[in-house]
Amino acid sequence: MSDLFHTGQSRRTSGAFSVTMRDGAKLAKKLEKLKDGGETAIKRTVSDFTARAPAWVSKGIRQHYGVDTAAIKEAGPRLKRGATSIRVSGVSVDGASLEYKGRTLTPIHFKMSPTTRNPKGLAKKPAKVPGQAISTGSPVAMVRPPMPFQVKATIIKGQRATMKPGTYLASSSKKSADAPILPFQRTGAGRTPVHAVRTLSVPQMIGSEEKKSRASDTISEIVNENLEKRFNHHIEQAMK
């Protein structure tokens, strides 16, 4: 099985990021002409950051991972005001960092296939399967097992990863007919224990300063590029 997949309880992860103006010297010259208008331009840029950055982050993630946008939205971001600041030419205004929190995801968020139980049907010949007829007192039963199939998902964009043989699909809840179908694996020698297959979380795809992800540099590039555009826009507005 690909090392992108694991079994066991879901793990909660979190991560936050902030940005720094790259072209500070050039922007500083413009700010020097604005006086009080410089602080206004920075405040408006911070407001733009909190409103627009989630879409920029989502775009950066989806350039490298096959995750759906719903999972990214569910993971965040949570706004943490005052956690960072944007400072240019001696003008500093409290900013905001965006914090993402989320559990390790199941492969259904990564274009998993198949998505139905027993997609190839049942075998024509019955076979002895242990534990299927315990209620009758028999340790085994003759049943038609499902035809073997592979479960795949696109965790890394452009790459189909295959889960290990024996992965099967079942409802995530016996109480709800609308519960999603998830991939499961047996982690013991017998029929139990059974755990859902999981993969990366959204914070892991975003990465951190301590541990970068495939998307970290792309996200930084997209956020910085767009933030500088918005900052320049607000500076031009203040200079009118």
Instruction: Report which of 25, 26, 28, 20 is spatially closest to residue 91, judged by C-alpha positions.
Output: 28
**Amino acid 176: pLDDT:** 83
Q: Looking at the domain assignment, is residue 94 inside a domain?
A: yes
Q: Looking at the domain assignment, is residue 193 inside a domain?
A: no
Q: Which domain holds residue 229?
A: 11-103+204-239
In whole angstroms, what separates CA 214 from the centre of its chain? 12
Q: Looking at the domain assignment, is residue 147 inside a domain?
A: no
**Amino acid 25: pLDDT:** 60
**Amino acid 118: pLDDT:** 84
Q: How many CA atoms lie within 13 A of 92 on its CB side?
A: 6
Q: Looking at the domain assignment, is residue 68 inside a domain?
A: yes
| Torsion, CA 66, CA 207, CA 195, CA 177, rounded to 10 | -50
End-to-end CA separation in angstroms for the chain = 60
Burial 210-239 (b: 16+ CB within 10 A, else e): eeebebbebbbebbbebbbebbbebbeebe
Instruction: Report which of 167, 161, 186 is spatially closest to residue 8, judged by C-alpha positions.
Output: 186
Instruction: Report which of 152, 144, 149, 164 is spatially closest to residue 118, judged by C-alpha positions.
Output: 149
What the block records as the tokens of 124 is 């024509």
Q: Looking at the domain assignment, is residue 177 inside a domain?
A: no
How many domains are contained in the chain?
Answer: 1
Q: Looking at the domain assignment, is residue 132 inside a domain?
A: no
**Amino acid 41: pLDDT:** 79
**Amino acid 92: pLDDT:** 46
Q: Looking at the domain assignment, is residue 196 inside a domain?
A: no
SS3 content of the chain, % helix, strand, coil (to 5): 30, 25, 40
Q: Looking at the domain assignment, is residue 118 inside a domain?
A: no
| Positions in the chain whose pLDDT score sits under 50 | 1, 82-94, 132
**Amino acid 113: pLDDT:** 96
